[in-house]
Amino acid sequence: MIEFLISTSKAILSVWKIPAVCIAAMTLITFFLYLIDKYKAKKGHWRIPEKTLLLSTLLFGGIGGILGMQLIRHKTKHLHFQILVPLFLVLQMIVYAAVLYFGLIYRG
């Protein structure tokens, strides 16, 4: 029984490792894009295009997008950000769960 638990926990860690690192990196990148854009908006400088912010959010930066919107209050009044950022996060959670589930089935 203990050997089964150890082998299962090792399989979970090995399946989670690469996607977790990618999601963490994209979360940081996306959050900093929102932060930089907010700073540039206050200073009246050239801005990061909204398409770039949404694309980084779509590419597994959903957590960073949510944090950017809530912590630095950026893009919170834009309806398409209010809808798309949470939607992207939900889609990412589904993909991540599928990767974990099918990764565990494949490994046995």
Q: What is the pLDDT of residues 82-99, one digit of tens each?
A: 999 999 999 999 988 887
> Would you state the pLDDT for residue 13?
59
CA 104 to chain centre: 22
> Would you state the pLDDT for residue 15?
60
pLDDT, tens only, 10-53: 665 566 677 788 889 999 999 999 999 999 999 999 999 999 99
> Would you state the pLDDT for residue 12?
59
Helices of type H across 59-107? 62-71, 79-107
- What are the structure tokens assigned to 13, written together? 């860690």
